[in-house]
Chain A
Amino acid sequence: MSRPGSISVLCVDDNPHVTRALESKLRRSGKFDWRGSLSSADQLVETVARECPEIVLLDVDMPGMDPLAALERLSRECPNTRTVVFSGHIRRELVERAVESGAWGYVSKNDDEAELIRAIRSVAEGEFVLSVEARRVFGD
């Protein structure tokens, strides 16, 4: 269970530098409940079912199971957990597939970290978020 007022987050990224940096960033803010990280999407649904994080930060370019396929299953089986895709790949078809698979947000790794923090908060509040770069692929 997350602390009152904090948002519980699970991070899935094969790059340990990223997960370590995110963990450090989110813990230091004191407003997030770090529920750990996975280096692939293979155990995503099981882990979420066990940990019940409010937000999953999901990279889409990882070895192992297709992260978006895992996301689709996750949306179906754990509807209370919302996923924000956090990726360096910003392509329209990728964003569309992610949205279709149940993503609530799409944030570029190249965006400022503050953008990621805002996105996590907004999605947790029920908003759908596309970061600046992700919106651009729709001609925005």
Chain B
Amino acid sequence: MELGETAFVPSAGAIGQSGLRSSVAAEAADASFARLRRLYEAILSNTPDLAYVWDLNHRFIYVNEGLLKMWGRTREDALGKNCLELGYEPWHAAMHDREIEQVVATGKPVRGEVPFTGTFGRRIYDYVLVPVFGPGGQVEAVAGTTRDVTEYRETQDQHRRHVQQLEVLNRVGTALAGELNLEKLVQTVTDAGRELCGAEFGVFFYNAHGRVGGVRTLRAVSGAAPAPLAQVSLPEDAPLGLCRFPGDGVVRISDISAEPAGRGAVTIGGVPITKLAVRSLLAAPVISRSGELAGQLLYGHGEPGVFGRESEPVLRALAAQAAVAIDNAQLHAGVQAELKQRKEAEAALGRQFARAALLSSTLQELLAAKDPERLVHELFPRVASNVGADTFFNFLVEESGQSLRLHACGGVEADVVRGVEKLEFGQAICGTVALRRQTIHATDIQNSDDSTSAFVRSLGMRAYCCNPLLVGDKLLGTLSFGSRTRSRFEPDEVEFLTSISQYVAISMERLQTEARLQRIVEERTRDLERSHARLRLSERMAALGTLAAGLGHDMGNLLMPIRVQLESIEEAGVPQSVREEVAGIRSGVEYLRKLASGLRLLAIDPGASAKGEVIELRSWWPEVCTLLKSALPRGVMLKDDIGDVRIRMARAAFTQVLFNLVQNAGDALRDRGAGTVRIGASAAGEKVSVTVSDDGPGMPEEVRTRCMEPFFTTKTRMTSTGLGLALVYGLVQQAGGSIELFSQPGKGTTFVIVFENAVESEAVAPKPETRPFAVLDVRDARLRAILASDLKHSFTIAGKERMQGAALCVTDNATVAGAGCGVTVLLADASEAPPGTVAVGRGARVETIREAVRAASKRSVHWGESK
């Protein structure tokens, strides 16, 4: 094989084998060739590239200095050998063999890149193989140039990695920017870190704010982390306390097993990292904008030296992104939580407002309510819609104070409540509330086996709230609300129901009090009207009585002289005929005298005692019969059957009672013009009955039941006030008596007045022989008469001969004072009074004396009885 002249400057050896020329030309050509050869040799020997030529047998026929240095061989050693012979690895040598053949076959260059370990170590080489054409255009050799591109390739790789990391960081940054979910965020960061660093695993310990405040440590894991890292328990209250590294920045350990003791002392969850199956470790703190430690990124690899220096800024950048993202997420979470809280607070406030409004309007309605039952019925739908209740029960305390009676209910069928119309205190929920006087809120009733709530459970209730209706210490009943849909009421709802119950209690108490007051007012008003009417009537009757008495008095004043003068005429010895005339006049005068006497009896005596006086009816009758007869219409007879009875009543009042009754009977008979009115009086034991009856038309039922009411009358207003019988009723009542009416249409009318028998009551009191007696030894006859009158109801009055044993002695004789008497009242000055006597004084007024005697008599009666 020969080298082409144009393409290649052959080596000396090769030149030495070339053809011969003419000598001169040959010399000149040789000189030129040698010069050219030196020139090429200078270039090829000093180029940094490697230059070489293979022959068609794949043997090196030229190698430059660069290649020889790389090989560490001499030219002589290298020329004539192929790649394999020069120590290339077989695959490498085979590859070049294929390429040489390709160039020879195609006449076209081949380019490639291959690592080779030579005297400069393992380097990357870029090479071009080109054909060397012979004069005939055939390929006679293959020349190659090779350049060391190791630095270039490394720079290129580094650049590519940087771009890749930037892409990852950019992707992560984009992902994190839109990620507000903390868990997803930290997982993204952890995964990205592993990708960026080429770690086998990554763990991200990070802080999270707890739902109820406080901070706790969580963990995100990427790849297959060693068990101690993936499983170590994370204490709630030790944020990041489990991951301790020296210093604040990125920590990179190429080979943990080769680390000095200080750096290898890192522990995770108490486990020294030297105990983990990890050789390479890379860690970076995640510091939030506020400077707080937000988390710790940790990457590892089972191989040593996996994390280069270049991974530090990448991890730092990732940590920074993570810090911002975590801050944002937590800020977002905080804002969301605050918004949620605010919304909840607003909703709660809204509910509170709604409840307050409901309470207010309820209160207004309760205040205006007129009927306790309607009150709770109208309340129920409003409360029900507010708290989701569908049932209510309202019990009231019975009079016994030991049981409840169902007053109102809603949301249940009528037949269901029949069994609980009455509850004993302590029975079921309402009874228990009544007993304890405390609210009961039963929850999740359907899943409870509490016997107290058995009834409401049977109604399908799930929640039931019962409140006592209390006003102060007074228990009125209970009010309860139940729900079949809710398992419990919220605390503010229970509070609301309690408030409602308090309002209802106050309202019910008010209604009860109002009803009571109303009844009292009505009763009092009726009483007042009655007594007012009686008062007016009695005033009228008193005025009439005064008028009648004045008339009676004046009649008496005139009749007295007439009687005296008639007597004078009779005594003057007049003829018989005149005497008969005078007797007629006397008879008329006598009638008038009796009438006057009766009229005077109608005057109410203001000095008369309230209890009245003892009236002996037989002696009273003659005085009033004329007056009573005068009250009857012509043709009506007055008949009497007065027994020997005595009653106690003011004489004028009794006369007025009888006058009214007789007048009433006369009115009943007026239309007939005939009939009989009977007055009877009889005693039966301790009672005396006085009857006034007529044989008139009698009263129908309606008249009979109402005739004693004030203003009730069957007569025209012109002739009747409607007060006569009311006055009778009032006067009899005042005197302690009672009055009854018996009447039937067609059978006349009878009034029966019943009094205590004055005689009987005195007889029941001490018998004459057992009564204490009082001695009256008073020279002044009129005083004696007055005192005797005062004392005779309590004492048997005796003269001074019975001084011994007397309960009371009233005397004006100091010498007999105190001689064997219980109490002595001495009408003398104190200086004359012996011990034990009551001295009144000589010049004392009658009333003073009477007062002293009355006081002493009370003591002496007591003394006499006890003795």
Contacts and interface: CB of A to CB of B under 8 A. Distances in A.
A18 B554 CA distance: 11
Nearest to B549: A89
Interface stretch (A21-29, A35-43, A48-56): A21-29
A127 B781 CA distance: 6
Interface in A75-96: 88-94, 96
Contact of A18 (B552, B557, B614, B781): B557
Given A28-B571, A139-B613, A103 B565 contact: no
B567 A128 contact: no
Nearest to A14: B557
A132 to B, nearest CB: 9
Of listed A18, A104, A110, A128, residue having the most chain B CB within 10 A: A110
B782 interface: yes
A5 interface: no
Contacts of B789: 135, 138-140
A91 B607 contact: yes
A40 to B, nearest CB: 16
Contacts of B605: 91-92, 137
Interface stretch (B128-136, B592-600, B683-691): B592-600
A93 B607 contact: yes
Interface in A114-140: 126-128, 130, 135-140
A67 B549 CA distance: 21
Contact of A21 (B564, B606, B614, B785): B564
Given A24-B565, A24-B568, A89-B553, A99 B782 contact: yes
Nearest to A15: B557
Given A15-B557, A91-B605, A110-B600, A24 B785 contact: no
Interface in B125-151: none
Per DSSP, are chain B's interface residues mostly helix, strand or loop, or mixed? helix
A21 B613 contact: no
Interface string B599-620: 0100001111100011000000
Contacts of A73: none
Contacts of A100: 845-847
Nearest to B604: A91
Contact of A109 (B556, B614, B845): B556
Given A126-B781, A139-B613, A99 B786 contact: yes
B734 to A, nearest CB: 17
B560 A18 contact: yes
Given A21-B561, A100-B846, A110 B556 contact: yes
A92 B608 CA distance: 7
Contact of A130 (B565, B651, B785): B785
Nearest to A101: B846
Contact of B651 (A89, A96, A136): A136
A25 B560 CA distance: 11
Contacts of A110: 556, 560, 593, 596-597, 600
B563 interface: yes
A17 interface: yes
A46 interface: no
A24 B561 CA distance: 9
B405 to A, nearest CB: 57
B846 A128 contact: no
B651 to A, nearest CB: 7
Given A18-B560, A21-B564, A99-B846, A128 B782 contact: yes
B784 interface: yes
Nearest to A25: B564
B593 A25 contact: no
A88 B556 contact: yes
Given A110-B597, A136-B651, A18 B561 contact: yes
B558 interface: yes
A73 B711 CA distance: 52
Contacts of A109: 553, 556-557, 560
A128 B845 contact: no
A113 B614 contact: no
A88 B567 contact: no
B568 A28 contact: yes
A18 B847 CA distance: 32
A130 B563 CA distance: 22
B553 A88 contact: yes
Nearest to B568: A24
Nearest to B553: A88
Given A90-B600, A110-B556, A103 B607 contact: no
12 contacts: A17-B557, A17-B562, A20-B561, A90-B600, A94-B607, A100-B847, A104-B782, A109-B556, A128-B782, A130-B785, A137-B608, A139-B614
Interface of B: 552-554, 556-558, 560-565, 567-568, 571, 593, 596-597, 600, 605-609, 613-614, 651, 780-786, 789, 845-847
> Which 7 pairs from chain A and chain B are nearest by CB?
A21-B561, A128-B782, A128-B781, A21-B564, A93-B607, A92-B607, A88-B553
Given A21-B561, A99-B846, A110-B600, 10 more contacts: A22-B561, A24-B564, A25-B568, A28-B571, A88-B600, A93-B606, A94-B607, A104-B782, A108-B556, A138-B789
Interface of A: 15, 17-18, 20-22, 24-25, 28, 61, 88-94, 96, 99-100, 103-104, 108-110, 113, 126-128, 130, 135-140
